[in-house]
Amino acid sequence: MKRASLAMTLFLTLAAGVGSGGLVPARADDGPLALMERGQLRRAAAVAESRIKTKPEDVEALRVLATIRAQQKRFDEATQLAERAVAAAPKDADAHFALARVAGMHAQSASVLKKPGLAGRFRKEAEIALSLNPNHEDAMEGMVEFYRQAPGMMGGDKKKSAAMADRLVQVNPTAGWLEKADVAIDDKDTTLAESCLRKAAAKGEPRAKLALASWLVQPWRQPDEAERLAREALEAEPWRAGGWALLAIRQAHEKRWPDVDATLARAEAAIPGNLGPHYQAARTMIADRSDPARGATLLRRYLAVEPEIGQPSHAGAHWRLAQALEQQGRKPEAIAELRTALKLDPKLEGAKQDLKRLKG
């Protein structure tokens, strides 16, 4: 479940070895599923909506749009769309898991009273998906997490979680070892986590290389190897925004400003309309207090376009911009940015705290 939802979104240059011939823009005939898997959620949603208008029982379009609406926390709409997909194709494992995924994502932010019902629905639909397709990887990943996190009275069972993870390794080693790495990270077993990530990356899939890179990029691990892995992943799949963000973060930490500029230019060419790497580079510059003015410039660039679905909101960008301005001694402008952030998102706690502090 965790990795299935993060597939929309992985966290996470001219000198990076990614030549212009390596860029793979979306084709005009790409369907909503392909677009979603490439992180182009806004375009995927538009294509899905158009297809549903023409064919109301388009199962792929319904389940893709349901997943994206859940990502936007529009859970009522997402549930209705996923239910329509199941009604249109009751024997389709992917449709049932789309409904499971919506319930699982909703449960993460639901009230205590609603969580049990949503968790139960996740389990029911995921189990139906597995009954229809015993090797359904997303459903297997979801059940690893369900068995691990759910209370025993709701069906949680860590032995079943481990067994399902072992089964996933047999079906798809990359997915299985990535799932085992997630479990190890949750258990704070860093040695096992890195071992699992390396086993996943050994299969050569770009997503696994980026997962290992995001683990190794910390200064106390192996950031040089992380950068190499990110470049290799982007050579194969330049549409992965997390790879560009990882490179930019690494370069910003080291104050390699020409490399940062080159990376972000390549990112804009590879993932048009997604300036998530700009935001992450700016956040790093502000957190490190290395170049708040440069960070502010990147944030203003980020604010000039509508964020891709799943990327930081404009409210968050205004908050980070306020921090950059404060570091430059521009307190009145910082206060103005914080007020803008809270106007866009009154629940943004970090901005609330910073505004209270700056106003004294």
pLDDT reported for residue 313: 96
Handedness of CA 308, 17, 193, 220 (dihedral sign): negative
The pLDDT value recorded for residue 29 is: 53
When computed from its CA atoms, the radius of gyration of the chain, rounded to whole angstroms, is 21
% of the chain beyond a pLDDT of 90: 88
Tokens coding 119: 């968790």
Q: So what's the pLDDT on residue 30?
A: 81
Closest CA relative to residue 12, chosen from 323, 283, 254, 204: 283
| Residues contacting 333, CB < 8 A, separation 6+ | 322, 325
Cβ burial of 56 (10 Å; 0-12, 13-18, 19+) is exposed
Distance, first Cα to last Cα, the chain: 44
Predicted confidence at residue 22, as pLDDT, reads 34
- Do 328 and 296 contact (CB within 8 A), yes or no? yes
- Tokens 């404009």 locate to 314
- Residue 188: count other Cβ atoms within 10 Å of its Cβ: 8
Residue 199 CA: distances (Å) to CA of 12, 32, 185, 295: 20, 31, 15, 36
Specify the pLDDT at position 87: 98
Q: What is the pLDDT of residues 223-242, one digit of tens each?
A: 999 999 999 999 999 999 99
Q: What does the pLDDT read at residue 28? A: 46
Compute the distance between CA of residue 260 and CA of residue 248 in angstroms, rounded to an integer: 5
Cβ pair 82, 109 in contact under 8 A = no
- Predicted confidence at residue 121, as pLDDT, reads 97
pLDDT tens sequence across 251-301: 999 999 999 999 999 999 999 999 999 999 999 999 999 999 999 999 999
What are the per-10-residue average pLDDT scores of the chain (360 residues)?
34 29 45 93 96 97 97 97 98 98 95 93 97 97 94 91 96 96 94 97 96 95 96 96 96 97 97 96 97 98 95 97 98 97 97 94
- Domains defined along the chain, listed by start: 31-133 (1.25.40.10)
CA distance 67 to 8: 9
pLDDT at residue 288 in the model: 96
pLDDT at 8: 29
Predicted structure pTM score:
0.86
